[in-house]
Structure 1
């Protein structure tokens, strides 16, 4: 009989900050977000699991007026005011050359670097699943750092890639506005599915 290893359970305050009280934010206060906090977001997000620890997600932080001017034309018109008000905007992308890092991040199987280098279809499979998975972790890391996140899918991915990722290796998958909310939420929280509607047992 094996002995279980006890794990820590986060308290009610952390559960509320990450899940039950957290809200998507659409308008942001002009309170700045410093580089140390943005770095801390990645320091948390990078520890969550990915397939074979391959970690294809990459992050471009945009904070300057010049960067915003390059980004905003590639967002859907209704999303531009949201990103314009955010102190920081993260463009989350997947790196189709993620395999170059395999000797470091998967030292028990360094030979997989050559395997993935020769198979673009398998690389696409890794990025299409693990990139969005890591994007979810990233949003939780934003909340864990005491900030609000406003994830958005309304953007021209090809336009952003051409503007910011001209080497062709990174491909944008999500835009996340980051900062402190400008006041309370604009509307009541939408319902979530109850346990009996979403969970099955076998």
Structure 2
């Protein structure tokens, strides 16, 4: 019997979900720059056109990957108080980004209007609506929280000891007195501490 007859063709065996799963494994192993439709096809042992049949373009693949990352966010056991619920949702969002290598860079580069992403945005906005005075304030707080978390987490995932050493050397060598005076505080502030402080400041300032 032929492959067509047995239904065992590569296209028939694959689904968008299996392609995305392979792409996420590639992301974790080699980083965002390595994620291409050809590389995903090689990992799956199929032709690139087979992958494209399921995800159409690389941009679409990245959107689906970003949504899959958002799909790891849990919504059980959230705090009852709106402000604390917002904080916990943002903590879970940050953890979803950190769960994959270059997760924040991937999500930052997409505009994923997909179910998991929209569910998170809807849950966050509903909580903010209980915490803010107007719909406009809630929307602006949502943007501030998400953009802050993406930027901070992207830096967290990209930062190396070499980068930190170069920063210290540049500050010491240049005319940056304010940075020099604050260098100890800047160096001792961890990314989790920066995250918690930033979320508090955004919610307190809106």
Give the structure-2-normalised TM-score.
0.31
Question: Over alpha carbons, which structure has the higher Rg?
Answer: 2
Please state which structure has a larger fraction of its residues in helix: 2
Larger relative contact order (Cα-Cα within 8 Å, sequence gap ≥ 6): 1
Richer in strand (by share): 1
User: Structure 1 length as normaliser, TM-score?
Assistant: 0.32
